[in-house]
């Protein structure tokens, strides 16, 4: 289990305890936790509706794949802290991260 703090679009933060042994990515867990994330493409890094900003813990994540980088490059509000939640497999190293949901809903 890892603890990740999620800030919604209204600025409300909630700490979530997330299992890392279920093979889920962050987008799937956020949707299951009833956050408003469209995930139009179903996690294929083709729509950017699961765009998040990593407020703390960016160093805990691996490098972006080319497809994720290309999709984020189309967003006017993406920056170096932007990631697609669908491309972030939940793992123990993510413990303590703080993210903000940015994508469309």
pLDDT of residue 73: 95
Is 104's pLDDT higher than 80?
no
**Structure letter (DSSP) for residue 99:** E
pLDDT of residue 103: 79
Could you tell me how many residues make up the chain?
105
Query: What is the per-residue pLDDT across 5-22, written as a single tens digit (0 to 9) for each?
Result: 999 999 999 999 999 999
The range of the structural domain enclosing residue 93 comes to: 2-101
User: What is the number of domains present in the chain?
Assistant: 1
Q: What is the rounded CA–CA span in Å between residue 40 and residue 93?
A: 27
Model's pTM, two decimal places? Answer: 0.94
Domain CATH code at residue 22:
3.10.20.30
Q: What is the rounded CA–CA span in Å between residue 54 and residue 6?
A: 10
Mean pLDDT of the chain: 95
Q: What is the rounded CA–CA span in Å between residue 61 and residue 4?
A: 13
Query: Per DSSP, what are the bridge partners of residue 101?
Result: 52
Query: What is the per-residue pLDDT across 13-56, written as a single tens digit (0 to 9) for each?
Result: 999 999 999 999 999 999 999 999 999 999 999 999 999 999 99
First vs last C-alpha separation in the chain: 28
Higher pLDDT, 53 or 105: 53
Averaged pLDDT for residues 64-70 = 94
């Amino acid at each position: 289990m890892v603890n990740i703090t999620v800030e919604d679009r209204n600025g409300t933060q909630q700490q979530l305890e997330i299992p890392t042994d279920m093979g889920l990515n962050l987008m799937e867990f956020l949707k299951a936790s009833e956050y408003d994330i469209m995930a139009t493409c179903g996690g294929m890094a083709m729509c950017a509706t699961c765009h998040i900003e990593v407020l703390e813990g960016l160093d805990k994540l691996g490098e972006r794949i080319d497809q994720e980088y290309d999709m984020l490059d189309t967003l006017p509000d993406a920056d170096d802290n932007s990631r697609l939640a669908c491309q972030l497999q939940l793992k123990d190293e993510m413990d303590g991260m703080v993210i903000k949901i940015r994508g469309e809903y």
